[in-house]
Chains A and B, each alone.
Chain A
Amino acid sequence: MLRQHPTARFILQRAGWYLLTFLVAVTINFFLPRLGTSNPVDIILAKSTGGLSAQAAREKEESYLKEFGLVKLDGHGNIRRDTTIRMVKVWDASKQASVSKPDTLIKPIKASSLDQFFTYVKMSLSGDLGTSFQKYPKKVLDVIVQAVPWTIALQLPTIVFGWIVGNVLGALAAYRRGMFDRVFFPVALLISSIPFFVFGMLLVYYFAVVLGWFPAMGGYADEIIPSFSFEFFGSVAYHYVLPFFSIFLILAGGQAIGMRSMGIYELGTDYIKYAKWLGIKESRVLIYLFRNAMLPQLTGLALSLGTMIGGALITEMIFSYPGLGMAMLSAIQNNDYPMIQGVTLIITTCVLIANFTVDIMIGFLDPRVKAGLQMGGN
């Protein structure tokens, strides 16, 4: 029971911190797109109202305004309107002159930025990410729900395996040094200098276009309809190879370099020297080394997850992989702001969840973290 207590507190504290971070992220996600020079609704309207009558255009505009939370709504979900009746000038063809008439579509009350923000937060928290401009009237969340499994299936294994393989190689290079290290290190450094996405391009060019061994794009063959069939999963696996390697190799290279320098640092520490002086078995000393060098590496992973996932999303774009990266690319190309915002929010959420997981893992693996917390707490 006594042990339970600090652990629970530790988890709660981290969770609280990430909740705060999430709220800041939501705020950023809302306000940043409104920083710029262009108003999203104007852009989409300019595109979609061409050739419509004035009345139809107004109706369309109002439906957009409502859809995107830019106007105030009443309790029934209808647009709240300015009740003071205004006169508008209308061209009367029979009289060949402008006449004043009461406005049939009374101006909606615009929502202030703050109102919009609260609507947005409320909607986001209830899982409603709005409606896509491009795929109107499709909901953003529906598009994302289709894309997320692909992204997770591609990125989770690549990051986990890349991390493990890179760290094992890096630790070996640190421990062995000598020839292995002298060849290994510059190669790893060179590999980790290649951005994910350009490496993806090189792989596509050589293995798909020149050699024709693997497909150049997509998550599965076009002619196959997704189903739980052997054929479908075979095709998925076949399409998986190149994107997997284009992320895996570079990630492993970067991790290996980090682990190598951590390992070399740890090798020089007093506790490793002492363990050797005591005649503790070499295999055990290696475990000491690996475990302790791994902890900062885990912290490093937590910190760079955002960058990694960002890079991997671009890899998805290169391969036209049906995940979030593609959804993002097509949204950007079509100025689909709700979609961009939805995707960025989901990415941020995923990154935060992953970070939280790693943080908790570190807490369990490193007694110093919890001990520090206890000391700080008391």
Chain B
Amino acid sequence: MSNPTFEVEHLSLHYLTRFGEKIHAVTDVSFEMKQGEILGIAGESGCGKSTLVNGLMGLFIPPLHPTSGEVKVGGESLMNRTPQDIREHVLSRRVSMIPQGAFNALNPTRKVKDIAADVIVAHEKADRKKAYDRLGERFELFFGAEAKRILNAYPVQLTAGERQRSVIGISTLLNPEMVIADEPTSALDVSTQKIVIKMIFDLLDAGIFKSMIFITHELPLLRHVADNIAIMYAGEFVEKGTAEQIVFSPKHPYTQALMGAMLSAEPGQKSRKPVAIEGAPPSLAEAIVGCRFAARCPVARPECRQNKQELRMFADRLVRCDYAE
């Protein structure tokens, strides 16, 4: 078995507000990824997914700070490094990002080829001329005869699908080991979604990048895309297992609720009505004593509010609930 390409050990992150208040956006996240693996991360908006993304790239721009833990890419740590070092040696080269809403991800006043060339010259001692040539070759892989038109276009002149595929092309230009895709298909129509997903898999198969984290709130999509799925709630992983396990036999009450809220139309579900999860996640600015989901949990017991829940092995996956059945 090969060494893991990506290791995250007990990673906690916090924001430091202007008034000196600490907001613990991510708490004690651990996982490992093997070459070729796709890990899906799902959760409601505001659960700490986006913060986690920055941490996974070693990108700590104030007010975001690491609290504790470790992130390693190919055995190399990303912690305690200068932003300049991370920018030059990690971003785009080892870990890259495919952002949400690629509609606005490209600088509107710059041609696609210039944005892409900016990426190359920022990391390699290449002149722009050579960078353009390399771009041409890479974009022909995705766009064939259209490559030239796309590269010479301003973002406004492209369709939503073309833009998203350009973004994926730019993000994977330098063959990063790890790609983090944050809702790469949201706001696209179904057929375009398919094209984009296919492009991502083609790149993975071609070995242009080695493993991927796929973040989305669409669990049905994850079932088809991911090998493993982690469910995040209030800054913590509450359940992690194979895609099959999470989607078909969720054990944590939150995962079950999420499935209820999202997968109600799938056959085999008891209720066909979408069930919204009542209430809101707890404030992360204060210390939380018991289970973070207790206040919204339909099966919570009185002791849940006192006892901190730890991730434990249950039914072949990790669950953060002592009472999971």
Contact = CB atoms under 8 A, between A and B. Distances in A.
Question: Do A and B interact with each other, yes or no?
Answer: yes
Contacts of B171: 278
A271 B57 contact: no
B78 to A, nearest CB: 13
Given A270-B104, A288-B107, A277 B57 contact: yes
Nearest to A178: B62
Contacts of B156: 367-368, 371-372
A49 interface: no
Contacts of B61: 276
A270 to B, nearest CB: 4
A122 interface: no
Nearest to B173: A278
Contact of A275 (B59, B93, B107, B109): B107
B97 interface: yes
A277 B157 contact: no
Interface stretch (B118-126, B196-204, B270-278, B313-321): B118-126
A269 to B, nearest CB: 6
Given A279-B122, A368-B154, A292 B108 contact: yes
B170 interface: yes
B136 interface: no
Interface string B98-138: 01110111111110000100110111000000000000000
Interface in A247-297: 269-271, 273-282, 284, 288, 291-292, 295
A241 B210 CA distance: 65
B101 A270 contact: yes
B110 A288 contact: yes
Chain B interface category by residue count:
35 or more
Contact of B99 (A270, A291, A367): A270
Given A277-B57, A280-B119, A366 B109 contact: yes
B113 to A, nearest CB: 13
A237 interface: no
Interface string B129-163: 00000000000000000000000001011000000
Nearest to A285: B118
A270 B50 CA distance: 13
A265 to B, nearest CB: 13
A366 B109 CA distance: 6
A365 interface: yes
B109 A280 contact: no
Contact of B109 (A276, A277, A367, A372): A367
B17 to A, nearest CB: 14
B88 interface: yes
Contacts of B97: 274, 277-278
Interface string B32-67: 000000000000000000000000010101000000
B27 interface: no
A278 B119 contact: yes
A292 B154 CA distance: 14
B127 to A, nearest CB: 15
Interface in A357-375: 365-368, 371-372
A292 B107 contact: yes
B99 A273 contact: yes
Query: Could you say which of B96, B107, B167 has the most chain A C-beta atoms within 10 Å of its C-beta?
Result: B107
Contacts of A292: 107-109
Nearest to B83: A282
B99 A371 contact: no
A279 B110 contact: no
Contact of B118 (A270, A273, A280): A280
A77 to B, nearest CB: 57
User: Which 8 A-B residue pairings sit nearest by Cβ, starting from the closest?
Assistant: A279-B91, A270-B104, A367-B154, A274-B105, A277-B97, A279-B87, A271-B107, A281-B122
Interface of A: 269-271, 273-282, 284, 288, 291-292, 295, 365-368, 371-372
